[in-house]
Structures are given as structure tokens and as C-alpha cells.
Chain A
Amino acid sequence: MKFVAITPKNHRTVMQESEAELIEGCRQNNRKSQERLYKKYAGLMLGICLRYVKSRMEAEDVMMEGFMKIYKLVGNYTATGSFEGWMKRIMVYTAIEHYRKIKRMPFDEFQAHDVQVNDYVIDNMTARDIIKLMDEMPEGYRMVLNMYAIEGYTHKEISEAMGISEGTSKSQLSRGKVFLKNLMEKSFLSHVKN
């Protein structure tokens, strides 16, 4: 089982004064601070949620739910890591929770070889384009790909969070990569043709 180490003091993020005040205000359930926090981070958080769910409306619902959790749990934040990182983590878990609630598509075991997507293709696409392509992916692929390739979670953590085995997580990632690669290349080619 993996150790989760205490964040060392020398890694502690020094927060800007304004952010510290914002957090303190949210701890005190101050509506003004909560609003400022929302306005400051809503864009970034929605960007995360969009990668995990299919529609924009659904993503915004997840984001709202995530913000509610942040306001409820902000008292537990201890400034040992970055506040933004802490919020992102909550947002990702909220998206996973949302996924687990609906669970539209069952996971299946599939072993595939590691697939590399050409960086040139990725470089010529915007984040919005990639999200559009991701919407076409099966949910299982998308979730695991997001968590592993973008958020940097390990298969162990993904398996714990999603309630699947590590093997399933690995297979979903492999399939997801193949799927996304194909989508990207297809999109790139059509773009070049046009």
C-alpha cells in the first residue's frame, strides 16, 4: 500500500496575502469572499469539469457541486499545499462522484500496447478542440485518460477513486489513448484537407 507523506514544510506554498484573506473569508462563511473565490476560479474549474463530462451544462452542474464542497470543506484546508491544487482535487473527485452516480458505461478489461500521439498533432489543436474530441470518447476512457495523462494520478489512485481494479484502469487508459489518437489524426487530416 502506498504511503502518503506529510507535505514537508519546505514545500509549503506561501500564499499571497489576498488569497489568504479570501480563504479566511470563506472559512467564516462570508458571502463576499465566497463570491470572489467563485469569480476567480470558476473558469479554471469549469475547464477541468469539461474534460470529465459530456455536455457543458453537465460540467457546470459538476462545477457548482464542487464549489459547494469547497465552501463546506475550506475550514479543513491548512495551507500545506497550494489552494488551487486543493480545489482542483475536489473538483476532480466531484466529477468522479458524478460519474459514479450515473455510470453510463461499464468498464471492460482490455490490454493494449502503449500508444504515442504525435506531439505535432496535439500542438496544432487547441484545448477546446481536444475537449470536443474527448466528448466523443466513451466515458471510461475519458475519465482514466484525464486522471492519468492530465491530472497525474497513478493507476492505484485512479482505481481507488473510481472503484475499479488497477488492471481495468490501465486497460481503459490504453484504449483511451488509441481512441483519442485516432480521433485526433482524423480531425487533423480533415483540417489539413480543408
Chain B
Amino acid sequence: MTKMQTLEWAFFAIAALLTLAGAVATVAARRPIRSAMGLLVTILGICGCYLMLHAEFLATVQLIVYAGAVVILFIFVVMLLGSAATSPSDDKAALPRYLSAGLFLACVVGGGSLMMRVASAKTKSTALPAVDASFGTIEKIGHELFTEKVIPFELTSALLLVAVVGALAVGRGKQADPTRQLPGNSGEEEA
């Protein structure tokens, strides 16, 4: 095993450890702010995996969108809710929840190990095809996005517009701002 290979395995081990530890922290933490921090760690680990898989542009997008926008949005809402964000624990209907989660986990582990056994019996080699250095760069992805996939790309803009309008409509509530007393102009431009 050369030095390069050792480095690659070490990088993968760190990325996988970050991903799984962050996911467990997200799910298991009592306080939502710690869950958000766990989500951030998971996103960093997945970003490392993307770098190993020749998806440099996607790793950047992952950092900008998830770490820069989604996690910040979660933390913003947790701060807005204050102490109400941490819900007190009680044991109401605990058994069905734990039972369903355990059943799901057993199905995943059983099916996954079965598939791994079948796959390792069928496949001869695990060698990956070689890719040139431009695979996954912003030039290649941009070219493909704006030639073949331009219609889904434009539809995404419509989706984001609808999401912005929907988030505004749902999030601002019914009552107008009490500090604003202009007649005939009951809170049209807030939120």
C-alpha cells in the first residue's frame, strides 16, 4: 500500500466518521441546537465524500446551500422559538415508536447484509473506471446543465419562486404589525 493509498483511506475514514457521528448526534440530541450542529458535521463529512468521488462542484454547492443556508435557517428558527424548541420528554406512545424504529432498523440491516452477500458473490472486480481531471468540474456540469437539462433547470426556478411565496404566506401569520397604524394599508408589505 503506497503512501497515497493510505492517505486516501484515512480521508475516507475521517469523512465517514464525521458523517455517521453527526447523523447520530442529529437524531439523538435532546436540544435542537445540538441537532443542528450534528447536521452541520454530517454535511461536512458528505462534502469530503463528494471530493473523493470527483464531484468538486457539488461539494461546493453542498457547503454553500446546506452549511450556508439550511443549517443557518434551522438555527435561526431554534433561536426564534427559544426554550420552547426543546420539547419535554414523556413516555406517551413510546412503545409503538421504538417498535417501529427497531423493526425498520432490523429490515435495513437484514436486507443490506443480504444484498452485500449477493453482490460480493457476483462481482469480479471493484476497480473503478478512470476519469479525466475535468469530470465533475463546474465547466462540464454547467455545459451539461445548460444544454441537455435546461428544462428541469428552469423548472427549478419556478419551484424556488413558489417556495419563497409559500414560506412568506405561511410564515407571516394573520395579524398585522401593531406598530403600523396606516389606514387602508393593513400590513401589506411586512414579512
Q: Do chains A and B stick together as partners?
A: no
